[in-house]
Structure 1
């Protein structure tokens, strides 16, 4: 089974929030292909329009699709960065909310949690975000429970991660959850990433 993984892109995106998960999914798919498996993941970059998104440091990236023409998604990842643009775009917020009702897993990285919270998708859940933004997230959205000192928090339908490189750790966790521990470990090794696996799943520290 190939899972289509949408990754939202927008002006102000943190480069590694995008590149890290994309690389994990790409490498995992390449390694699975060496074993003769069908592609387990197909990442799709989705922008609010067909224009390039300009991320931190002037990094420019083209979307594969928009909210109007993307393929059906199995997983949606909302990266972080400077969230000014997506937070004030009701079309993006409504689209994320609609996808949350359809996908198997909704995930955020870093300050992407603010967009999920603004859409009302984190109420009553344990979540995490970049250490620098945890107090702000908790104060702005008191209906959620912010967990410090973990790379990611998995509450089933929703997975949130800490900042920047923690998104790689979280995506490796998703590879393990949606495919296998073996493929996640091989992917981390291929990327020469020291995978901590230090997350919180269903209230239990992994």
Structure 2
């Protein structure tokens, strides 16, 4: 089974928030295919429209689909960056809410948690975000329990991660959850990445 993973992209997105998870999913799929399996993941870049997105630092990213023409998503992943405009966009927030209700799993990296919270996806959950933004997330959304000093928090159908490179750690965890620990470890090794498996989940492990 190939899971379709929709990554929401927008102006002022953090480059590694997007590139880290995209790379993990791409490498995991490449390794699986090399072993004779079907690709387990197909990451897709989805934006409000098909205009190029200008990431932080000026990197230009081309969306593949819009909010209205993408295939059904198995996983929704919302990266972070400067998310004020995204939080204030009722069309995007409604789309996030609708996709999260349908998807098998919803995830965020860094300040992407603010977008999920704005859409009501994180109500009454334990969550995390970039260390610099944790107090602000708790202040804006007091129903949340913001967990410090972890790479990611897994509450079942929603997973949130800390800032920037923590999105790589979280996405390796998603590879483990949705495919296997072996593939997650092979992916980290292929990326020459030291996987930081520091998390909070419902089992408290």
User: Does TM, normalized by the shorter one, top 0.5?
Assistant: yes
TM-score of Structure 1 vs Structure 2, range by shorter chain: over 0.9
2:173 alignment partner, SS class = helix
Size of the alignment, in residue pairs? 205
How big is the shift at 1:201?
1.3
Counterpart residue number, 1:177: 177
Distance 1:203 1:129 in 2: 20
Query: 2:112 matched to 1:112?
Result: yes
Query: 2:174 matched to 1:167?
Result: no
Distance 2:139 2:87 in 1: 17
2:182 alignment partner, SS class = helix
Query: 2:14 matched to 1:2?
Result: no
Query: 2:112 matched to 1:92?
Result: no
Structure 2 unaligned spans of 5+: none
Q: Which consecutive segments of 4 or more residues in structure 1 shift more than 3 A?
A: none
Counterpart residue number, 1:149: 149
Structure 1 unaligned spans of 5+: none
Counterpart residue number, 1:137: 137
1:44 alignment partner, SS class = strand
Counterpart residue number, 1:200: 200
How big is the shift at 1:85?
2.1
TM-score, normalised relative to structure 2 = 0.99
Distance 1:105 1:23 in 2: 19
How big is the shift at 1:123?
1.1
Distance 1:45 1:85 in 2: 18
| CA deviation profile, 1:94-141 (whole Å, cap 9, x unmatched) | 000000110000000000000111111111100000000000101110
> 1:197/1:106 Cα in 2 relative to 1: closer, same or farther (>3 Å)?
same
Conserved in 2, the CA contact under 8 Å of 1:154 and 1:160? yes
How big is the shift at 1:203?
4.6
Alignment RMSD (CA, Å): 0.6
